[in-house]
Amino acid sequence: MDSVQNLELESAGGRPELVDPFDRAITYLRVSVTDRCDFRCVYCMAENMSFLPKAEVLTLEELDRLCSAFVARGVRKLRLTGGEPLVRRGIMTLVSSLSRHLRSGQLDELTLTTNGSQLGKYAAELKAAGVRRINVSLDTLDAEKFRAITRWGSLDHVLGGIDAAQTAGLKIKINTVALKGVNEDEIPHLIEWAHGRGMELTLIEVMPLGEVGEGARLEQYLPLSIVRARLATRYRLDDVDDRTGGPARYVRVAETGGRLGFITPMTHNFCESCNRVRVTCTGTLYMCLGQEDAADLRKPLRASEANDLLFAAIDEAIGRKPKGHDFIIDRHHRRPALSRHMSVTGG
């Protein structure tokens, strides 16, 4: 393909930036590059998950084309997630290729959310490709609990990966799911550990996505309002007005000097400033994390080498982005509010 043709495919052909019916500009795309994972976290997957057949999963080239179409239409931040993004074969080819949008100035940030297991292998390459910061999910610093939560993971391995990432110069934010009776007592220790190493930490409330076992979700659910109230008896928490368009709210912990986030999709309404959409590794676009409504982008992507059909499908879908979500976990709703797993949409 010559470079003129290439440029044509990369451009939006005069189409406008993406704005939804509630006047929210869509500038953030989260892409699940695989549904597979080398862990089986209890709140995320069942142990015997069945994964998608290869033909249904977008190739690396298709993922690149899809991401680039969104970038051409105004997306400024791309986050690769999964499943575990770093277990996708050839993932660095995709990262390196997408980094052209950083160099061109069309993209502000290329980042990923990872369980950290493969960081020892990839941290330096990620940094070299222009990734500046990453999110690493870590719920405990206790090796036995880590094994119990992730079923298949090794804490040492992940801590080694975090070391490698910091050595490579990547900034890290730790994401910790607050789990009732599992890591709730450890939260101050996790905060002090993360802040002591110059990393932010964000606490996440368990969300009712996907079947993971009878009753498990109710048992796991720990409202962050409770966690925050407990932390406030130990630390001074100063509000930081840093709205990212997402569900996180931040405080600075006076005693550590570090930043602490709270992601509370269950107890807070963050939808009015939502700037994001999610696409799965099969090319399904979810306009809202908390709703089933979706659009198939794989069909238009595969139907033609030009992007007209793809842009039309994206426009139609963004036109349906809902105003907000409605998650519920309570005793009357023992089933997950949504049947898809977080490993499908990537959180």
Ligand X SMILES: C[S@@+](CC[C@H](N)C(=O)[O-])C[C@H]1O[C@@H](n2cnc3c(N)ncnc32)[C@H](O)[C@@H]1O
Q: Which does 204 bind (CB under 5 to 8 A by kind): ligand SF4, ligand X, none?
A: ligand X
Q: State the residue for tokens 């019916």.
A: 21
Binding mask 57-86 for ligand X (x = CB under 6 A): ------------------------xx-x--
User: Which of the stretches 61-69, 140-148, 152-160, 204-212 binds ligand X when contact is defined by CB under 6 A?
Assistant: 204-212
Pick the closer one to ligand SF4 by CB: 27 or 135: 135
Q: Which amino acid is at 204?
A: I
Q: CB 60: neighbour CB atoms within 10 A?
A: 18
Q: How far apart are CA 345 and CA 284, in angstroms?
A: 9
Check residue 183 for interaction with ligand X (CB under 6 A): no
Rounded least distance, CB 297 to ligand X, Å: 20
Taking CB under 6 A as the criterion, the residue among 68, 111, 115, 275 binding ligand X is: 115
Q: Which does 146 bind (CB under 5 to 8 A by kind): ligand SF4, ligand X, none?
A: none
Rounded least distance, CB 255 to ligand X, Å: 25
Tokens of 303: 């139907």
Taking CB under 6 A as the criterion, the residue among 60, 94, 98, 204 binding ligand X is: 204
Rounded least distance, CB 116 to ligand X, Å: 8
Q: Which amino acid is at 246?
A: G
Tokens of 78: 């791309």
Give, as ranges, the residues between 139 and 178 that touch ligand X (CB under 6 A). Answer: 175, 177
Contacts of 84 (CB under 8 A, 6+ apart): 34, 36, 37, 38, 39, 114, 115, 117, 118
Crossing angle, helix 60-72 and helix 308-318, to 10 degrees?
60
Binding site for ligand SF4 (CB under 6 A): 37, 39-41, 44-45, 82-84, 115, 137, 343
Report the half-sphere exposure of 223 (CA within 13 A, side-chain side).
9
Pick the closer one to ligand X by CB: 183 or 275: 183
Rounded least distance, CB 97 to ligand X, Å: 20
Rounded least distance, CB 10 to ligand X, Å: 28
Q: How far apart are CA 335 and CA 212, in angstroms?
A: 10
Q: How far apart are CA 276 and CA 251, in angstroms?
A: 23
Q: How far apart are CA 306 and CA 190, in angstroms?
A: 48
Q: How far apart are CA 345 and CA 211, in angstroms?
A: 14
Q: Which does 337 bind (CB under 5 to 8 A by kind): ligand SF4, ligand X, none?
A: none
Pick the closer one to ligand SF4 by CB: 122 or 311: 122
Rounded least distance, CB 40 to ligand SF4, Å: 5
Q: Do 22 and 321 form a contact (C-beta atoms < 8 A)?
A: yes
Contact footprint for ligand X (CB under 6 A): 37, 43-44, 81-82, 84, 113-115, 137, 175, 177, 204, 206-207, 209, 342-343, 346-347
